[in-house]
Structure 1
């Protein structure tokens, strides 16, 4: 794991990069995670070269996801994928069930406030876990998470 810490006066940001390409960025009270390809990066500078553009992209998507969650809290509900900003990645999760991501712990300082996630089967038939839930539809037809907008269709 590589840890990159950037300081700007009293503000510090840190980036944790695992060997499998899982990246966690801490910036003040915000934290976000994403995956990127660092397979051929050998030095810290090569890792940083691959991670920096991915951080910009992930943060842009994260801001749009947070804005979408805020919009949904006002009562707006998307009915179709076209109604969601194209920069927000969308996926489908079948047989979605609530879960807790225990693999993030005990390394996380917030050990006792576990993130609620969903687990289910994605469109490729693979077991998939979502990121932390920001907003969930009362009818559980969709959920906004830190990583994607997930459509969660009812069982047929």
Structure 2
């Protein structure tokens, strides 16, 4: 595994972990994202970084669009159709969705930080999926904007705990 750390202005660090199979994990601020890259025949750090950097740049661009979408929803806009979402933002469907908490992000001192709220449910193939942190969720729980995608949660399949 190669670890690449970028330090900006002497205070902010980003880390990139590249495994031999091309599985890449990027830690940026309080967010983490993963993807696969073909690193066959990339032997030096610079060759690996050349293949990884464009994917990171694209993921950062998508993240900016997701944040803008969440801000738009907070201002009162409500999506009604998948075509209304920017095509660069991944969209998924989660059936039988229920709330959860990302315990890995749960702090030792909860008065300083609230744990990340996530959704769990079945994807189109019936496989259990867990989302990243929810940035905004519709009042009827029919959709959610998460850190890495826009999520449709059909209302007839939502299983709210304690409702």
TM-score between the two structures when normalised by the length of structure 1: 0.81
Superposed counterparts of 1:110-125, under 5 Å: 110=107, 112=110, 113-125=114-126
Q: Which runs of 5+ in 2 are unaligned?
A: 158-163
Larger radius of gyration: 2
Q: Kindly provide the CA deviation profile for residues 16-47 of structure 1, in whole angstroms up to 9, marking residues without a partner as x.
A: 326372512325xx634132235746654444
Say whether the 8 Å CA contact 2:39–2:51 is kept in structure 1. Answer: no
Secondary structure (helix, strand or coil) at the match of 1:119 reads strand
Say whether the 8 Å CA contact 1:36–1:51 is kept in structure 2. Answer: no
- Cα 1:109–1:123, aligned 2, differ >3 Å: closer, same or farther? closer
Q: Which moved more, 1:127-136 or 1:18-27?
A: 18-27
1:23 is aligned to 25
2:89 is aligned to 88
Say whether the 8 Å CA contact 1:93–1:151 is kept in structure 2. Answer: yes
Say whether the 8 Å CA contact 1:101–1:115 is kept in structure 2. Answer: yes
Q: Which moved more, 1:125-134 or 1:65-74?
A: 125-134
Paired residues, what number? 150
Superposed counterparts of 1:6-155, under 5 Å: 6-17=6-17, 19=19, 21-27=23-29, 31-37=31-37, 40=40, 44-102=45-103, 105=104, 110=107, 112=110, 113-155=114-156
Q: Which runs of 5+ in 1 are unaligned?
A: none
CA RMSD of aligned residues (A): 2.6
TM-score between the two structures when normalised by the length of structure 2: 0.77
